[in-house]
Amino acid sequence: MKTSAVIQVFGIPTDHQFTSQDDLVAMFLDSLSSTNTVRNGDIIVITSKVVAKCEGRVVTEANDRESAIRSQAKRVVATKVHDRGVTTIVETHSGLILAAAGVDASNTEPGTIVLLPVDSDHSARGIREQIEERAGVSVGVIITDTLGRAWRLGVTDHAIGAAGITVLDDLTGKPDAFGRALEMTIVAVADEIAAASELVRPKDSLTPFAIVRGLGHLVTQEHGPGARSIIRPTEEDLFALGTAEAIALGKERAITDRRTIRSFTHVVVPDGAIQTAIEAAVTAPAPHHTTPWRFLVLHFNDPQHQQKRIALLDAMALTWQRDLEAEGKSQDEVSKRLARGDILRTAPCVVFAFMDLASGAHTYPEAGGRNNSERDMFLVAGGAAVENFLISISSQGYGSAWISSTLFCAETVRNHLGLHSSLLPLGAVAIGVPESIPSQRPPKSAAGFLLD
Ligand SMILES: Cc1cc2nc3c(=O)[nH]c(=O)nc-3n(C[C@H](O)[C@H](O)[C@H](O)COP(=O)(O)O)c2cc1C
């Protein structure tokens, strides 16, 4: 695209105090000096403050700023508490993300605050039509607001409304100066123009208008998609929430997002993910300040691990088969039940969890009794650790199923692995990448779980 090497930016001052009684376009045209008329291809930049005032978007109860912000907000994106109070970044009903919903007490009558125009693109289209009609020229119009930026200090003006102008210049696929195709280069030209205009419209200068000349190639016949099209769709936004809000949501969802997953892809689970989950597991509370948890990790893609896994599962299956036959189950039923354990044979990773009573459980003189209570207390701590493990696995993006089988053949497991009798199995956890997205968990009210 050819551009002129020089652009001109003229500030158009007026000491008029705008109200809803004003004809904004008349005020703009009247403010032009005889040497500075509006020309074909000009871009007229107008601060949203005067557009809003002319549209009657002034709230007189300045002390009701918070409710004014809330009324303009679709959702709170981020909050930051600081010495001067709380900064709230919100998404407005028109999709803009900005501090305090753009509700502003600067350059307004004392005791009043100004909201943003309801639909700045709509306002820009109306202003453009009127300028073209009254001045007989073809122009683009940009309505601006002064915004902060994530990652960078300082504010700049941005286009929040636009008509008759290319707002995004998509250079993707076009050659750079060396002939290489540009990748994903979309220039926000409307924002660049808005920022340039702010250089001639200082905040204390009563200069609500600017004319940008020399960018006629960006002025379009149609009103075009407007500044709304500059807003990044939320689903494409890597930073759709502030840091504190994202952390809070992550904490809240870490527990409820864990689901039992019984079907995995063949994707390998990296050992680092398992180590991370074990490190989360062993932060669980346990009696007597002990750390009684032990884990056997067997990966499918390690032939020695897999051999050990299958041998253990075969031994467990034999015990299970004997138990089922002793119960009088038919061969068909026995086969069906045994097949349910297949997930542990094929899952990309299986972690067998144990609790070691020898790591600090107290013993009592009587048989059973308090010794059983002590064992149960350690088993409860085992459950806490496995739940931590499952939550960590889930928060790392993997799925898991906690399978009870080792609990029902503890002796077999210990004998097969050569483990001391103090080691109590806590079940086996199958882990992998879920084959499909688990269904949403139905909400459960605490009321249904309370004893009278
Ligand atoms: C101690 C324990 C043992 C479990 N054993 C099995 C099992 O042997 N087979 C199985 O399919 N699921 C087993 N589960 C998983 C539960 O059935 C599962 O948590 C339940 O379906 C709820 O689903 P959710 O985890 O998605 O909330 C076990 C869960 C726990 C806590």
Ligand 1 centre to CA of 429 (Å) is 10
- With 60 as the cut, is the pLDDT of residue 445 above it? yes
Whether 37 and 113 share a structural domain: yes
Whether 302 and 223 share a structural domain: no
Asked whether residue 176 is assigned to any structural domain, the reply reads yes
Asked whether residue 249 is assigned to any structural domain, the reply reads no
4 lines ligand 1 (CB under 6 A): no
- With 90 as the cut, is the pLDDT of residue 41 above it? yes
Asked whether residue 387 is assigned to any structural domain, the reply reads yes
- With 60 as the cut, is the pLDDT of residue 129 above it? yes
Per the structure, the complete domain to which residue 237 belongs is given by: 8-243
Whether 224 and 271 share a structural domain: no
Whether 295 and 215 share a structural domain: no
Ligand 1 centre to CA of 222 (Å) is 60
Contact 317, 341 (CB under 8 A): yes
What does the pLDDT average to over 164-192?
90
Whether 238 and 261 share a structural domain: no
What does the pLDDT average to over 208-222?
97
Q: Check residue 441 and report its DSSP letter.
A: P
Contact 298, 305 (CB under 8 A): yes
Tokens 């924002």 found at: 191
Asked whether residue 179 is assigned to any structural domain, the reply reads yes
d(CA 319, CA 142): 77
Q: Which of 243, 269, 291 is the last residue of a domain?
A: 243
Mutating to test ligand 1, I would choose from 404, 409, 429, 431 the residue with most ligand atoms within 8 A of its C-beta, which is: 404
What does the pLDDT average to over 8-30?
94
Asked whether residue 250 is assigned to any structural domain, the reply reads no
Asked whether residue 1 is assigned to any structural domain, the reply reads no
The pTM of this model reads: 0.75
Residue nearest to atom 13 of ligand 1 (CA): 403
335 lines ligand 1 (CB under 6 A): no
Least confident of 135-144, 219-228, 325-334, 419-428: 325-334
Quote the number of domains for the chain.
Answer: 2
Give the residue with greater pLDDT, 20 vs 177. 20
Res 426: pLDDT: 98
Contact 424, 371 (CB under 8 A): no
At residue 104, φ and ψ (nearest 5 deg) are -140, 135
| CA distance between the termini of the chain | 76
Whether 284 and 218 share a structural domain: no
Whether 423 and 275 share a structural domain: yes
Whether 109 and 223 share a structural domain: yes
427 lines ligand 1 (CB under 6 A): yes
What does the pLDDT average to over 420-449?
94
Residues with Cβ within 8 Å of 50's Cβ and at least 6 positions away in sequence, in order, are: 18, 24, 27, 208
Task: Give the domain CATH number at 311.
Answer: 3.40.109.10
What does the pLDDT average to over 95-115?
87
What does the pLDDT average to over 37-46?
96
Whether 12 and 132 share a structural domain: yes
Of 381, 393, 379, give the one whose Cα is nearest residue 280. 393
Whether 204 and 309 share a structural domain: no
**How far is residue 207 from each of residues 32, 47, 55, measured CA to CA in Å?**
12, 9, 18
**How far is residue 170 from each of residues 69, 80, 212, measured CA to CA in Å?**
34, 34, 21
Q: Which of 215, 243, 271 is the last residue of a domain?
A: 243
Beta bridge partners of 352: 296, 428
208 lines ligand 1 (CB under 6 A): no
Whether 209 and 313 share a structural domain: no
d(CA 420, CA 409): 15
Task: Give the domain CATH number at 34.
Answer: 3.30.1330.100
- With 90 as the cut, is the pLDDT of residue 53 above it? yes
Whether 269 and 322 share a structural domain: yes
At residue 325, φ and ψ (nearest 5 deg) are -65, -40
Asked whether residue 248 is assigned to any structural domain, the reply reads no
User: Average pLDDT of the chain?
Assistant: 93
d(CA 12, CA 29): 10
Residue nearest to atom 9 of ligand 1 (CA): 403
Asked whether residue 217 is assigned to any structural domain, the reply reads yes
What does the pLDDT average to over 413-422?
97
Secondary structure (3-state) at 328: coil
Residue nearest to atom 18 of ligand 1 (CA): 260
Ligand 1 centre to CA of 260 (Å) is 7
